[in-house]
Amino acid sequence: MNQQIKNFFSATAIGAAALCSIFASQATAADWPSDNIRLVVPYSAGGTTDLISRKVADLMQNELGTIVVENRPGAGSTVATGQLSRGGRGINHTILMASPGHAIGPAIYPGLRFDPVKDFRFIRKVISIPNVMVVPASSPYNSLAELVEAAKNKEVTFSSPGMGSSVHMSGELFKSVTETQMVHVPFRGSGEALPALLSGDVDVSFDNMPTVLPHIKSGKLKALAITTPKRSPFLPDVPTVSEAGEQYGLSGFNTSAWFGVIAHNSLPDAATSKLTDALDKVMESEDFLAFLPKFGAEAGIESGDNFRGFISTEVKKWAKVAQEANIKR
């Protein structure tokens, strides 16, 4: 056999192998999922992220088969997120319920070995929960303006369930924009932070809606403002921070506890589409819509590139806040 014929057959074999590889890849993606899906929760069992994740997993099983929920807490969600970013066996059947910690973590944990935007597929934001600016019922402050004016002239304390939480960072952003003398008082979880607020040991908090809503309804807390751009249907008479604080530069103020599904950036396009379609159906279901009021929540809007863009904006926002407030873990 002369060299030309050998080269021909060699090139043909290589081309055939490449085609087989492409077709195999397409078939694998089209048949996804071919195994149980793991939904990783980057926090401990029993918390808000866990409860939302388990509800979403339960509803998604109707579309995608068995979904196993796995809790991997640690370092403000960065432990589980870092593991996802590194890939490995079973990575294309692994998804994670991201939350504000995904964007806050890189700002306060130096040396993280993942990029919060580039290393992931952003499937869909599922739920958004406003934070509420609240004071004890006994507080002398009855409006955002009254509290800001006081905080310009004396020390005002704001509490959170922990450094780096969305509650803490909401307060830091508010403090930065209003240039007030607010002092952060961190606690070890809502179990400690809420009683301190109710008793008046701290002046104000920017807490998650489900934590404080029952106490607002009962009159034990006063709601001064909602931290999202639109008023909440669960507290329609409470103005937004943007509305109530325009004169203090707070126009456009926007913080929330959000939850959305992400995956490793190697997830095939076909699998991404199936996940997105499944979540769309979940979020349109009566069961999911009936679940939202339990958290004072609204359904998420962003998916795909829009979700990625939202995350990118959040990462930049919290990096600036953390730098200005010198927040590091």
Q: Do 228 and 240 meet the contact criterion of CB atoms below 8 Å apart?
A: yes
Digit-coded pLDDT (tens) for 276-328: 999 999 999 999 999 999 999 999 999 999 999 999 999 999 999 999 999 98
Q: Determine the pLDDT at residue 27.
A: 42
* Strands 120-136 and 204-208, sheet pairing: antiparallel
* Encoded tokens for 307: 């979700």
Residue of 260, 187, 188, 250 lying closest to 224 (CA atoms): 250
* Digit-coded pLDDT (tens) for 114-137: 999 999 999 999 999 999 999 999
pTM of this prediction?
0.88
Compute the CA torsion angle 118, 124, 125, 127 (nearest 10 deg). -150
Q: Of 170 and 3, which is predicted with more confidence?
A: 170
Question: Please, which pLDDT band fits residue 9 given cuts at 50, 70 and 90?
Answer: very low
Output the pLDDT for position 123: 98
* Domains along the sequence of the chain with CATH: 34-128+256-325 (3.40.190.150), 138-248 (3.40.190.10)
Rounded Cα gap, residues 54 and 292, in angstroms: 14
Per-residue pLDDT of 208-236, as tens digits, reads 999 999 999 999 999 999 999 999 999 99
pLDDT at 4: 54
pLDDT score, position 10? 52
Report pLDDT for 114.
96
The number of angstroms, rounded, from the C-alpha of 103 to the middle of its chain's C-alpha atoms is 8
Nearest CA among 246, 273, 228 for reference residue 127: 228
Written as six digits, the tokens of 145 are: 């303006």
Distances (CA, A) of 257 to 118, 125, 167, 169: 22, 11, 8, 11
Average pLDDT over residues 42-50: 93
| pLDDT over 60 at 19, yes or no | no
Q: What is the pLDDT of residue 25?
A: 42
Sign of CA dihedral 102, 79, 190, 52: positive
Give dist(CA 206, CA 133) in Å, integer: 4
Res. 199: pLDDT tops 90: yes
Question: Is residue 18's pLDDT more than 50?
Answer: no
Percentage of the residues of the chain whose pLDDT score is greater than 70? 91
Over residues 80-95, the mean pLDDT reads: 96
Mean pLDDT of all residues belonging to the chain? 92
| pLDDT at residue 15 tops 80 | no
**Span of 15-29, 40-54, 163-177 with lowest mean pLDDT:** 15-29
What does the pLDDT look like over 228-276, one tens digit per residue?
999 999 999 999 999 999 999 999 999 999 999 999 999 999 999 999 9
* pLDDT-wise least confident of 39-43, 44-48, 96-100, 218-222: 44-48
State the first-to-last Cα distance of the chain, in angstroms, to the nearest integer: 69
- Whether the predicted pLDDT of 23 surpasses 70: no
- Looking up tokens 């008479």 gives 237
Average pLDDT over residues 87-106: 96
pLDDT digits (tens, 9 = 90+) for 124-176: 999 999 999 999 999 999 999 999 999 999 999 999 999 999 999 999 999 99
329: pLDDT confidence band, cut at 50, 70 and 90?
confident
